[in-house]
A and B are shown apart, each in its own frame.
Chain A
């Protein structure tokens, strides 16, 4: 049998691989299967478009295929941005294991729109329809079967199917299958909505992920920095994740293949990037790769100190926050007090004010304001009392000062007064002496006329002379004092 073609070669030809037998032999076995390439986008988005603007999103690689249906042609100016999503329940993934009884034997997926046959088998309506168009036999037991023998499956089957947990093809979160389309239409952050932007009074016809819909219109052309392809900004994220030919690059440090887009995130966790010791800010200058750093962490000299410092830092920050809070409340209260003070000055007729407030405010509000008002008034009163006592203390102090001052000033005056008094007494004596001398002289000149002057100046003379002299000296001192 040497003449026949070598079996390995035949096989390899069918593979369409490299022609050399030896080198490609290992290739034929168990190559990783790119199963992802078979999964197409499992949902379609329906929307009505303006008949004029037909140039709208054409499905480009990576962008979801959009089936535009001309319905009643609602104008796009309506505020409704949500789009109806139709999900292919056979192409999505489900959470958990699914009861074998809920699987369609034809499509091997959880049943969609199940029907029951005469022979008690359940299939998707679509699947059994396809099968019967090939041969009118039950796909399981080959009993004769036709479309008219099919009936709707029991309600219980529908209920069980509705409650299956299906993962949203956009955000990958599991929902009850019956709620999935509703979720995508109204809530999913990753599903598509209409662009809300206006272009010169015309609505933008593009669609964008709901999550990005508040960033304005993203339907402008940009260039991918990695592959230089031009595309719409709205698709940039997906492009960088799944489409871009240059999206993968080896990490500079550990050489694992990573998404360029995720470089920064990777480097934060990359085991080959040198990172400083965690106590760097307290003085440790050690820097190393992940593994060595962990070794270092256990014996770092700053370990103890760092932990304490970290605690202190935390506490200080807490305190700072508290102080800030207190300052704020204090500021607020000061403002309130100021407001109340100014209010008191301004409202010179407080009773009138209270009357009007009684009339206007509802009871509950009134009670509340009164309560708080009382509090403020009380605190105000306290402040005023404090002030008054302060003033009283100041006053008594001033009084004491004043008396001391007065006392100090009056002493020299008193001294002067005493001096003046003594000089006045001296002058009084002088005047008296002079008066007596004059009177004696007069008596001698007129010779003992009305009085017994010649008989002796000491006889009756002093009785006449003395009251006069005294009277005279009295008035004279009075005059002197008043002049002083």
Chain B
């Protein structure tokens, strides 16, 4: 769909010329605007600080009518991200029932950043991490820091 491509390249231009702090965006394949590589710095004040996390953002062909999908390609110990090679993530505004075609990718990226600072344990994908986050914050932070050191250099 040509009109969706136009909107995507517009948003891509917006994000590359004026990127949010700690985020760099590039295309996986320069001929295809639907797959974006995101490199996100672990936010200061979170256990992920100092790490560089690689994400893959996939925009569906019927974007903006369907929400984009984001996966962590760098393993991350986080209640809302599966701790496996898929790195599936769940963030509120990307849920199909909450997605609005007027939302921007920029806001998706900042929401993801916000999720690293403030996990939502009630909406967890990784139950183990969510449990530790709720009940033993120190232990959670320690473990998250360790995984960050191990994978997100």
Picked from A5, A105, A107, A140, the residue with its CB within 8 Å of the CB of B85 is A5
Residue pair B28, A134 in contact (C-beta under 8 Å): no
**In the A-B complex, the 10 residue pairs with the closest CB atoms:** A105-B102, A139-B101, A134-B65, A38-B9, A11-B73, A11-B54, A7-B74, A140-B102, A30-B24, A139-B102
Least Cβ distance of A418 to chain B in Å? 129
Which chain A residues have a beta carbon within 8 Å of chain B's beta carbons? 1, 4-5, 7-8, 10-11, 14-16, 28-31, 33-35, 37-40, 90-91, 105-109, 126-127, 130-131, 134-135, 139-142
Give per-residue flags for B1-20: 1 if the beta carbon is below 8 A from chain A beta carbons, else 0: 01101110111110010000
CB-defined contacts of B113 to chain A, threshold 8 Å: none
With contacts A10-B73, A16-B28 known, is A134 near B37, CB below 8 A?
A: no
CB-defined contacts of A130 to chain B, threshold 8 Å: 3, 65
CB-defined contacts of B11 to chain A, threshold 8 Å: 108
B64 is an interface residue with CB less than 8 A from chain A? yes
CB-defined contacts of B27 to chain A, threshold 8 Å: 31, 33
CA distance A127 to B5 in the complex (A): 13
CB-defined contacts of B28 to chain A, threshold 8 Å: 14-16
CB-defined contacts of B150 to chain A, threshold 8 Å: 1
Residue pair B29, A16 in contact (C-beta under 8 Å): yes
CA distance A35 to B2 in the complex (A): 15
CB-defined contacts of B75 to chain A, threshold 8 Å: 1, 4, 7
CB-defined contacts of B64 to chain A, threshold 8 Å: 106, 139
Residue of A nearest to B147 (CB): A1
Residue of B nearest to A137 (CB): B100
CB-defined contacts of A8 to chain B, threshold 8 Å: 54, 74
Residue of B nearest to A142 (CB): B100
Question: By CB atoms of chain A within 10 A, which of B7, B30, B65, B101 has the most?
Answer: B101
B31 is an interface residue with CB less than 8 A from chain A? yes
With contacts A134-B62, A139-B101 known, is A15 near B37, CB below 8 A?
A: yes
Residue pair A135, B65 in contact (C-beta under 8 Å): yes
Residue of A nearest to B8 (CB): A38
Residue pair B9, A7 in contact (C-beta under 8 Å): no
- With A7-B73, A38-B5, A141-B100 known, 10 other A-B pairs at CB within 8 A are A11-B54, A28-B39, A29-B39, A31-B27, A106-B7, A109-B10, A126-B3, A139-B102, A140-B100, A140-B102
Please report the number of residue pairs spanning A and B whose Cβ atoms sit closer than 8 angstroms: 99
CB-defined contacts of A29 to chain B, threshold 8 Å: 24, 26, 39
CA distance A4 to B6 in the complex (A): 38
Picked from A5, A33, A107, A140, the residue with its CB within 8 Å of the CB of B6 is A107
B33 is an interface residue with CB less than 8 A from chain A? yes
Tell me the interface secondary structure of chain B in the complex.
Answer: mixed
CB-defined contacts of A4 to chain B, threshold 8 Å: 75, 84-85
Picked from B9, B66, B73, B84, the residue with its CB within 8 Å of the CB of A35 is B9
Picked from A28, A31, A131, the residue with its CB within 8 Å of the CB of B101 is A131
B56 is an interface residue with CB less than 8 A from chain A? yes
CA distance A454 to B113 in the complex (A): 190
With contacts A108-B10, A142-B100 known, is A90 near B3, CB below 8 A?
A: yes
CA distance A130 to B10 in the complex (A): 19
CA distance A1 to B83 in the complex (A): 11
CA distance A10 to B28 in the complex (A): 13
CB-defined contacts of A7 to chain B, threshold 8 Å: 54, 73-75, 151-152
CA distance A185 to B143 in the complex (A): 67
CA distance A142 to B62 in the complex (A): 18
CB-defined contacts of B84 to chain A, threshold 8 Å: 4
Residue pair A105, B73 in contact (C-beta under 8 Å): no
CB-defined contacts of A40 to chain B, threshold 8 Å: 2
CA distance A85 to B16 in the complex (A): 33
CA distance A126 to B7 in the complex (A): 14
Picked from A34, A39, A106, the residue with its CB within 8 Å of the CB of B30 is A34
CB-defined contacts of A38 to chain B, threshold 8 Å: 5-6, 9, 33
CB-defined contacts of A1 to chain B, threshold 8 Å: 75, 150
Give per-residue flags for B33-64: 1 if the beta carbon is below 8 A from chain A beta carbons, else 0: 10001010000000000000010100000101
CA distance A397 to B115 in the complex (A): 124
Least Cβ distance of B96 to chain A in Å? 9
CA distance A337 to B24 in the complex (A): 86
Residue pair A35, B100 in contact (C-beta under 8 Å): no
CB-defined contacts of A35 to chain B, threshold 8 Å: 9, 12-13, 16
Least Cβ distance of A106 to chain B in Å? 5
CA distance A108 to B11 in the complex (A): 9
CA distance A126 to B1 in the complex (A): 13
CB-defined contacts of A135 to chain B, threshold 8 Å: 65
